[in-house]
Structure 1
């Protein structure tokens, strides 16, 4: 009678598994693998080795607080000769003395999460259960059977493995890029991502059902959309848009998700202050990439917020051109959300692929502040009756704008109907480079085309609304022109341009004004104004009226968005009808100069020199450099500059780096001071072995 088989130890083959499963950054002290793909372990037995004719081996995997075979959170399976698709299997790949090499293969539909693996040995009438290991199971975009499978390898590298990115801000006529450290493989991030799932109300109410549904990226994406904001739960970020951030950190200061996620976990899951749309979207992108779901951050310029779901944005102004906010809907200068890649078995097959998902708390969806996933292809086709929140996303990129003048006698005059001002320059980082990719055509047909108008009518019909009256576009007669030197700290001119295309002289009353504005459209104080009671324009001619904008007028009121809105209101003196032009101006920050001193090598100290020139007419006080970089430094570093930085002088400092991985990395820097905020810079660093 053979002695019972006793496990002495196990080798989880971290190096081999991390390479095969693309989890190298996560897989130092524990096993992190992807579903639908076998992983390797070696078991050492005490006294004697495994004998197939004598010993029977059975394995059990469990996840969640209440593992259950019926719910798919527990599985028991025997050692077999070969791997089988669609179920948990274990097979022998090699045997030597008391060493047994195995592959364990999870099905491509298994719930993601933390798992325990145990083994039960049967030798004659003796049986013994041994705990083998714990491991983490992730989604697998490299596996064709996985619902997040992505065919192109360069896309998988970009949208799952790349720990750095670019987010677009500014205005659609002056697009500004900021770097972002997603850091999904950094220490502790995977634990925080699963802690986030375990804090969601659905898990707290029924953990067994919630863990069972973690096999479905549609379900998980809804949970993450809700949990990145804290409006209904103990989510990550507290949103604020009033420019009062004294109790926390300004949204513009953040340069990465890692610091935010670590702060949330360290505080006992207390919301981090503060977030705005790009921060919500970027943190969600980190969580998705960490879990293995391909994700990217999207910026939509002139993004509509359709609060009454009629696919039109109505804005009311008084006779001075001032917006009446209590009556008006919003068009954000830009808005960011996240796209995630998955199949949609709950929809038509043609709606697989990219899904729009928005964690910024704007409107409730099924009673919770979340949005999506909405199929991008469905949005383009006007299929707004599809799950989830398609009408809201459709309006963000394709609503029509109707502007009204509310006269002093209470009557309303239609000022303008514009069908091509919402959803412009929809942008994301290109695959494999820091260039911008314009993906507007993914969301909508060409503006003004027959297909685009037909899609709008179809969406209105499916949204069960009466099709609104169409009005032809007026031929452009007025516009706002800007000067080229619009840097923060400068004085500069903008111009109201009036083009008289008629054969008769025209006379107008003119109001040209400039106000600081937040990216979400909220106006600040007026910083320049010109009113002219009579402007005469000769037949078939054009005139330009300058408006000087002084730094001294906008410096104290400019938000960290660096935006100024210029309005031009024109009233024809004969007909008393109004015309209006509007333009958002983005003021450029100075550049951060980043020098790398020394040759970048793995596990060798490296120094980065950072400098910023003060472009303002006054000294900069309370200057701080903040530095992050996945694979270059383990934690965020902050360096304070004790002395004031005089005008035209340079703030300069050095920081130590310690590269942990070879390959391409990105050092990301933010500079803050009392008068110069959210200055961003980055430098690619190639680390050798």
Structure 2
């Protein structure tokens, strides 16, 4: 008698997907699915048919699963099909469920710590008393993913309903813009698209993470934070912040992650260009695809502490001109303040740390500072950031500064011990709000889906707990201690207030105003300068729009106002992407040498894209979507293009050129679409022209049965 020969192996991709929460993956829903996607630590079913009936007394059937080209103990599972097999969360088992002539039905159980990835299968058959073997190679992909639904998995989330948002939701929002005009930018994650899992596998291979580490979400998320940027190992996205994107896609033009990941997989080259929210959008797509709960987090007024002092330091000359370098660290980029910065929270337990630091962990794929020699950041326990416990892995100190550093201003002073005297310190400026998308809500036009999670990252500003958490961090850092030791009592009998600018619509004028109050009984001569500058969102200045300097006398116990008017024709030619402006004011009191400086960021506001449907959407029937936009400028828009993405339509992403549009007129285009998914589908749109870009829109609509 010969060993059994395999005719066919089948894993019921669609049926297994239901209990494994993988039913949304597109490849599982193909006409004849060839890819199985399941989660670790949970049984899945298969069937094997042989060339002759199975004889229990004579035949042995062995399943050998392996991951990678050099399987070792953690990346191989080998077991005989047995009727008495007992599933166990720590080992592989294969239980024989039914025998019908040539066909065996079986159930495979996998360890709950299994490395995730594409597993290969061999079916090995032999007779009990014979060494002769027959080996059958199964030629389809079996993806085994993290299982946050399983209480024994390190990614487990007790409130499983939240996994509908943090693993299964394929559309979201990222809050961008300065504090006063922050708005939710819609983003299509598209983690179930056919291209995403293969792109994730290619990324992990390029990052060279050993296969046996791929079951550990700590190691995996650290690597993801590294490989989503291209700085070290030709990862997914090239970061760029200077407005020069002609040889790639401008960060503001992307509507979602799938186009980026498919371009990366196809060209095997880093994709130009990304900025923080693009990196964060791709990270969430990758994490959710692999089964790690993830969300995008925006920190409004975010510190980039380049010299580990837990402060953001701004330096001025003796006459209060701002320096664009750090005199104590001239070879390194100076500290900076970003209007906002976006990173990710990922969810897991932390068996490597003391109790209490599991749950949300911050990771950041935007390449800012190196960590252990590479551009990677996290996972940093959000609880450790809040408590100021900077010794815990990984990068808690950098993240603590991002949300809670003090802003310190220094003026050159030859008599001071550090060479600089402190002008002032602001404990409230950094980390004004930390925002993410609220679970289960998607508001295409408004802000109903915004969730404020500042309290997870820091105690309320000014409370004893908040100061103690920051000082806890300062205690562990020699350099930070020196900086905080200088906070001195300065003689200041003149009060300066820079008035906030809330909103300015594009094309409108605005005014920079400072109120001055002399509280002393003597007159004061004040030298002051006011300016308005266009800035990139990471705090880098672009162009001076307008500046004025002068002297003013303020009598004893008197108030004065100084201001400049900035007209639209002053700023329009000098705006850079996202239309962010910085107003700055500096002053020095001649009699007392008291100095003061302040600045404020705001955004020139632009219109949104309106998305409308002329008729009901019926599945698999052609329809039309109408995109429209009013030109807010007193000049025509040229080189216009819309980009529209939805995971619920055939073709997914469309790029459509549009005609030039005259000043203040409405531009409208119609686009044929065909919905291919029932229920609610989401659309995300962007618009660009030579004169105006970074315009967004979104809509949700129901698709019905025909």
Interval of TM-score (by shorter of Structure 1 and Structure 2): over 0.9
The answer for the alignment partner of 2:115 in structure 1 is 111
Range with bigger deviation, 525-534 or 382-391 = 525-534
In the superposition, relative to structure 1, how do residues 511 and 602 fare at CA in structure 2: closer, same or farther (>3 Å)?
A: same
In the superposition, relative to structure 1, how do residues 46 and 499 fare at CA in structure 2: closer, same or farther (>3 Å)?
A: farther
Rounded to whole Å, the distance in 2 between the matches of 1:445 and 1:78 is 56
Q: CA deviation at 1:298?
A: 1.0
Q: CA deviation at 1:478?
A: 3.1
Report Cα offsets for 1:529-575 as digits up to 9, x if no partner.
Answer: 33341153673x75554432222111122111211001122333432
The answer for the alignment partner of 1:341 in structure 2 is 347
The answer for the alignment partner of 1:207 in structure 2 is none
Report Cα offsets for 1:204-242 as digits up to 9, x if no partner.
Answer: xxxxxx001111111111211111111111211111222
Equivalent position to 2:665, from 645, 649, 668? 649
In the superposition, relative to structure 1, how do residues 89 and 318 fare at CA in structure 2: closer, same or farther (>3 Å)?
A: same
The answer for the alignment partner of 1:625 in structure 2 is 642
The answer for the alignment partner of 1:591 in structure 2 is 608
Equivalent position to 2:701, from 680, 685, 688? 685
The answer for the alignment partner of 1:171 in structure 2 is 178
Whether 2:88 is the aligned partner of 1:89: answer no
SS in 2 for 1:364: coil
Rounded to whole Å, the distance in 1 between the matches of 2:568 and 2:116 is 54
TM-score normalized by structure 2? Answer: 0.90
Whether 2:438 is the aligned partner of 1:430: answer yes
In the superposition, relative to structure 1, how do residues 448 and 599 fare at CA in structure 2: closer, same or farther (>3 Å)?
A: same
The answer for the alignment partner of 1:376 in structure 2 is 382
Rounded to whole Å, the distance in 1 between the matches of 2:41 and 2:581 is 52
Report Cα offsets for 1:514-541 as digits up to 9, x if no partner.
Answer: 10011111112221233341153673x7
SS in 1 for 2:475: helix
Whether 2:541 is the aligned partner of 1:523: answer yes
Range with bigger deviation, 505-514 or 613-622 = 505-514
Rounded to whole Å, the distance in 2 between the matches of 1:406 and 1:514 is 24
Whether 2:463 is the aligned partner of 1:449: answer yes
Whether 2:681 is the aligned partner of 1:675: answer no
- Given that 2:688 and 2:695 are in contact with CA atoms closer than 8 Å, whether structure 1 keeps it comes out as yes
In the superposition, relative to structure 1, how do residues 218 and 73 fare at CA in structure 2: closer, same or farther (>3 Å)?
A: farther
Q: CA deviation at 1:123?
A: 4.1
Whether 2:168 is the aligned partner of 1:161: answer yes
The answer for the alignment partner of 1:206 in structure 2 is none
Q: CA deviation at 1:364?
A: 1.4
- Given that 1:39 and 1:103 are in contact with CA atoms closer than 8 Å, whether structure 2 keeps it comes out as yes
Whether 2:474 is the aligned partner of 1:460: answer yes
- Given that 1:80 and 1:89 are in contact with CA atoms closer than 8 Å, whether structure 2 keeps it comes out as no
SS in 1 for 2:618: coil
The answer for the alignment partner of 1:311 in structure 2 is 310
- Given that 1:320 and 1:511 are in contact with CA atoms closer than 8 Å, whether structure 2 keeps it comes out as no
In the superposition, relative to structure 1, how do residues 564 and 476 fare at CA in structure 2: closer, same or farther (>3 Å)?
A: farther
In the superposition, relative to structure 1, how do residues 194 and 270 fare at CA in structure 2: closer, same or farther (>3 Å)?
A: same
The answer for the alignment partner of 2:270 in structure 1 is 271
Alignment of 1:54-69 (within 5 A): 54-68=58-72
Alignment of 1:322-401 (within 5 A): 322-327=321-326, 328-401=334-407
Rounded to whole Å, the distance in 1 between the matches of 2:80 and 2:459 is 51
Q: Which runs of 5+ in 1 are unaligned?
A: 204-209
Q: Which runs of 5+ in 2 are unaligned?
A: 327-333, 443-448
TM-score normalized by structure 1? Answer: 0.93
Rounded to whole Å, the distance in 2 between the matches of 1:80 and 1:502 is 93
- Given that 1:9 and 1:44 are in contact with CA atoms closer than 8 Å, whether structure 2 keeps it comes out as yes
Q: CA deviation at 1:278?
A: 1.3
Rounded to whole Å, the distance in 2 between the matches of 1:237 and 1:388 is 23
Count, aligned residues: 676
Rounded to whole Å, the distance in 2 between the matches of 1:441 and 1:295 is 18
Rounded to whole Å, the distance in 2 between the matches of 1:180 and 1:528 is 35
In the superposition, relative to structure 1, how do residues 648 and 89 fare at CA in structure 2: closer, same or farther (>3 Å)?
A: same
Alignment of 1:202-217 (within 5 A): 202-203=208-209, 210-217=210-217
The answer for the alignment partner of 1:536 in structure 2 is 554
Range with bigger deviation, 593-602 or 428-437 = 593-602
Equivalent position to 1:129, from 127, 135, 138? 135
Rounded to whole Å, the distance in 2 between the matches of 1:12 and 1:480 is 67
In the superposition, relative to structure 1, how do residues 361 and 121 fare at CA in structure 2: closer, same or farther (>3 Å)?
A: same
The answer for the alignment partner of 1:182 in structure 2 is 189
SS in 1 for 2:182: strand
Rounded to whole Å, the distance in 2 between the matches of 1:515 and 1:25 is 47
In the superposition, relative to structure 1, how do residues 537 and 11 fare at CA in structure 2: closer, same or farther (>3 Å)?
A: farther
